């Protein structure tokens, strides 16, 4: 069981993993029926004649499954997994029934919020692997994170220097 | 009933709308239970104490609902709504129970594929409105689209000149 981490607990270069989630054909179809009702997400035969050449999960289904991996995974920012945005986002490879999704996030940047002294931002990149290559690509995603209420709120301006966390840098 | 359009039918500046989709509290919670099980998406009381100050839809639920609006909407590229990527993506405002989602897409760019002569790409921006301001922001999203098999595959290189479609430009 991993407990939540405060902003001060993150440092550039840390890597956080997840469990694995197997993609099921029936859930591909039922998700698509509600949110993305197109032949290549609904029916194997029709999908075989499409650009995907076989049943493929809706990109939003893939994104949602990845969110589940993140929530259950090791990243655990205090306040919850709250993404503020991606700087690029796409789906380079179809996700198929039987695929196993797994993600690894690498911390690229940690910085305090300019407007909220009790909050900060953690920017993460996705580490490539066989399974993540299949799902979606993003240059980076930024999460909000609570600062430790016990720490000094006057953070040094070089807090987000590469390789530097508040534990390891001199205040 | 809007029929599918080929690449040649799109031109910069065209605007395509959608129906409306009402966000339901129960579906916010059940979607979150499967894909994003965090207190602010699952329980009104716990959500009231969170950064969202009330129940808010998972960002991926919002994205999935927006996809449904797109699939049922007027954009209709030949081959289906197949997004190749966003160049920025985020959620500036929480989506709440009772909100009505609606999207308008404006064509920003139309260009033939470099690698596939039977395909092209349509880049669209989201037009701001009260309801879209609530859901998610993106600078632009790119969709693939089939070219008309009856048209000349030797497209002019100024095909994607602003305001120019193959119908209106001299070949």
CB-CB neighbors (< 8 A) of A38 in chain B: 71, 80-81
**Inter-chain touch A51–B82, beta carbons under 8 Å:** yes
DSSP state of B5: B
Mean pLDDT of B54-64: 95
d(CA B118, CA B112): 8
Give the pLDDT confidence of A140-169 residue by residue, as tens digits: 889 999 999 887 644 544 344 444 443 332
pLDDT band for B115, please (50, 70, 90 cuts): confident
**Inter-chain touch B34–A68, beta carbons under 8 Å:** yes
**Inter-chain touch B71–A37, beta carbons under 8 Å:** yes
**Inter-chain touch B51–A86, beta carbons under 8 Å:** no
Judged by a CB distance cut-off of 8 A, whether residue B90 touches chain A is yes
Judged by a CB distance cut-off of 8 A, whether residue A88 touches chain B is yes
- Smallest CA–CA separation between B170 and chain A, in Å? 31
**Average pLDDT in chain B:** 84
d(CA A69, CA A51): 28
ipTM associated with this complex: 0.85
B93: closest chain A residue by CA: A84
Class of domain A7-22+59-146: alpha beta
Checking if the pLDDT of A134 tops 80, the result is no
Of A37, A65, A84, the CB nearest to B35: A65
Mean pLDDT of B141-154: 81
Q: What is the pLDDT of residue B10?
A: 96
Give the pLDDT confidence of A75-132 residue by residue, as tens digits: 999 999 999 888 888 888 899 999 999 989 999 999 998 888 889 999 999 865 555 5
**B7-146, superfamily in CATH?**
Hotdog Thioesterase (3.10.129.10)
Q: What is the pLDDT of residue B91?
A: 84
Number of Cβ atoms within 10 Å of the Cβ of B21? 17
Per-domain boundaries in chain A: 7-22+59-146
In total, the C-beta contacts within 8 angstroms joining chain A to chain B are 97
d(CA B165, CA B9): 7
Q: What is the pLDDT of residue A33?
A: 98
**Inter-chain touch A90–B86, beta carbons under 8 Å:** yes
Cβ neighbours for B138, distance < 8 A, ≥ 6 positions apart: B86, B87, B88, B89, B90, B125, B126
Contact A144, A114 (CB under 8 A): no
């Amino acid at each position: 069981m991993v407990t939540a981490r405060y902003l001060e607990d993150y440092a550039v270069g840390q890597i956080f993993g997840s469990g694995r989630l197997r993609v099921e054909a029936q859930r591909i179809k039922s998700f698509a029926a509600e949110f993305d009702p197109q032949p290549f997400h609904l029916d194997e035969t029709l999908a075989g004649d499409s650009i995907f050449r076989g049943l493929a999960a809706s990109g939003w289904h893939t994104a949602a499954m990845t969110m589940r991996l993140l929530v259950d995974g090791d990243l655990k920012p205090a306040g919850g997994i709250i993404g503020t945005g991606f700087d690029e986002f796409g789906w380079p490879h179809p996700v198929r029934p039987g695929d196993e999704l797994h993600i690894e996030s690498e911390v690229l940047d940690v910085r305090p919020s300019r407007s909220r002294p009790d909050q900060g931002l953690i920017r993460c990149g996705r580490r490539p692997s066989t399974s993540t290559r299949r799902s979606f690509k993003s240059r980076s995603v930024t999460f909000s994170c609570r600062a430790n209420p016990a720490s000094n709120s006057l953070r040094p301006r070089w807090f987000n220097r590469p390789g530097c966390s508040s534990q390891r840098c001199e205040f």
